[in-house]
Amino acid sequence: MSSFYISSLIEIIHYISDSLVQCDAGTKIAELFGEEFDDVDFEMALCCFEATHRMAFRQDLIDIPIEQYEELSLEEFLETYLDRAEQKDPLFVAQRFRLFEAAITRAISEEQGGEEQF
């Protein structure tokens, strides 16, 4: 995997966490999570990565429980789940952000005990 893409993902994670999460290519996904960075932040990082590089993560990633890949390093994660084909659909970025919107809505609903309050 290109060190450019790994460096890019790391920079995005640093930015989203306000530089509170320090990581490198060998950092395991599970090691990212804590008070400063949670699964929704990780999904946002992936969405930002996709939009930045116009590359998608595998479509089935949304259905894979995080436990199945939390022991992968960031480099292994990109090697396993990133489709390096450039996305040419003009709606690609909008669709990715819509997926993130759904994820954050689910997270808020779960946090409020299953009640959606919008």
Q: Rounded to whole angstroms, what are the CA distances from 38 to 2, 19, 44, 69, 94?
A: 26, 14, 10, 15, 23
Q: Domain residues for 68? A: 3-111
User: What are the pLDDT digits (tens) for 93-105?
Assistant: 898 888 888 888 8
Q: What is the pTM of this model?
A: 0.83
CA 113 to chain centre: 24
- The reported pLDDT for the residue numbered 77 is 97
Q: What is the CA radius of gyration of the chain?
A: 14
DSSP 8-state secondary structure symbol assigned to residue 64: S
* 117 in any annotated domain: no
Tokens of 49: 């990565």
116 is a domain residue: no
Domain count for the chain: 1
pLDDT per residue as tens digits for the range 7-53: 999 999 999 999 999 999 999 999 999 998 998 899 999 999 999 99
On whether residue 50 sits in a domain, the answer given is yes
Q: What is the pLDDT at residue 104?
A: 83
